[in-house]
Chain A
Amino acid sequence: MTYRVLICEPSEIISTGLTEIIQKLPGFDVVSRLDTTEHLNERILTSDINILIINPLLLGYFERNQISQLSKEHPHLVVIALVTNLMDPSWLKSFHGTIEVNDSRLSITNKLNEIVQSNGKQEKVSDDIELSKREIDVLVAVAKGMMNKEIADQMNISIHTVISHRKNITKKTGIKSVAGLTVYAMINGLIEN
């Protein structure tokens, strides 16, 4: 898929320069540019934007909740800060990523690809509701009373992977305790009573 990018930056020099760089990247298309936030929400919707690159100063330094407001209104939107001057790092953390005005072309390319990838992954996990085949195997082993180490040995995977499967099982089923997982496995016919 091609990511549809909106750049929101008051300086035309910076905005034009960044557009020039991004337009040459495969998979990204700058479909719109704004120099204020006046029509921001509208434009995100009408132009079907996936990635917003915005100068944080436009969001108002003292109204930091505007970023969370943005994510709330557009849950799948990736918001990247375009940093043109010194800025409180703790504020920048609320963005999905940052691009700095003195970043090289290569570093902008890498950053964009990385941000898009890590966001894609997060969504994939939370959207999946069904347990995977591997997770069912781990669940059955847990329900049978096996320890993480035993499961890792039996399935030929690392303990770390077992733990990560167990986290996903809990996330998907909402059940934390071994006793609860056992009942879940029985109700779903994964193990005998």
Chain B
Amino acid sequence: MSKTKPISGKTKLAELIASNHRLLQLLSRFGIGLGFGDRSIEEVCRINDVSSELFLIICDIYSDNNYKPNHTDFQHIDMRGLLPYLKASHQYYLEERFPHIEEHLQRIIKASGSKYGPMLSHFYDEYKQEVMQHIQYYEEEVVFPYIEALRKGEKPTSYNINEFRHNHTNIQDTLDDMMNILIKYLPGDILPMERIEISLDIMELSADLSCHSRLEDDVLIPYVESLENALP
């Protein structure tokens, strides 16, 4: 999606949302409630104690697939909101999106009978494990505590962000595979409307996850590297 005019802190939040409706889902992750009226992005951010620079960087990532933020900016920006934002996104995926998709999928599995049902079910269970491991274990239990420690001025020797960069698996590929299987390869007569519904949901989630991993690659990793380098 390309932007029609440059967005700044002075832009009205409502105008920003109107330019890209997908940004609506970012608000709750920042803890920004609805009912913001005609306030500018800066005002809304100030009221909600959110760094408007960080907010705009993340909005840019979600609006423009080619956008890459300037790393040197991170030293001058209040980045405290980044981890809470990522955690809120993870929570949204695990508690809202995946259960929703699973609900659709259970109905499709049931209708698929003994021929296709078990393999779909197995495929999804494995994928869910992968996602849980990716999000909960890796990010919430290892990476995030490491970053918190860095911010307190400690430098744990057991870990560094390079390891995250190398082990950062792409949880979106398998999701895209699931969609291809549901659209292209499962026999056409099994709950077609339900499969269209779930595929649209998967496309939305896949696009969201792709922005999310760009946020991790292009913002989180360089930011943590700058924290690592700042310590003696």
Contact = CB atoms under 8 A, between A and B. Distances in A.
Interface residues of A, number: 14
A142 to B, nearest CB: 13
Contacts of B176: 174, 176
A174 B180 contact: yes
B213 interface: no
A179 interface: yes
A81 to B, nearest CB: 28
Interface stretch (B31-39, B100-108, B117-125, B134-142): B117-125
Nearest to B115: A193
B173 A174 contact: no
Contact of A179 (B116, B127, B180, B185): B127
B93 to A, nearest CB: 18
B96 to A, nearest CB: 23
Interface string A141-178: 00000000000000000000000000000000111110
Nearest to A186: B119
Contacts of A188: 185
Contacts of B180: 173-175, 180
Interface string A29-48: 00000000000000000000
Interface size class on chain B is 10 to 19
Given A184-B181, A187-B181, A176 B118 contact: no
Interface string B142-185: 00000000000000000000000000000001101110110011
Contact of B173 (A173, A177, A182, A187): A177
A140 interface: no
B174 A183 contact: no
Contact of B123 (A174, A176, A179): A179
Contacts of B177: 174-177, 179-180, 183
A176 B173 CA distance: 6
Contacts of B119: 182-183, 186-187, 193
A183 B174 CA distance: 12
Contacts of B186: 187
B64 interface: no
A158 to B, nearest CB: 25
A74 B116 CA distance: 43
A187 B180 CA distance: 12
B126 interface: yes
Contacts of A180: 123, 174, 177-178, 180-181
Interface of A: 173-177, 179-180, 182-184, 186-188, 193
6 contacts: A176-B173, A176-B177, A179-B126, A183-B181, A187-B181, A187-B185
Given A174-B180, A180-B177, 10 more contacts: A175-B180, A176-B173, A177-B174, A179-B126, A179-B127, A183-B119, A183-B177, A183-B181, A187-B116, A193-B119
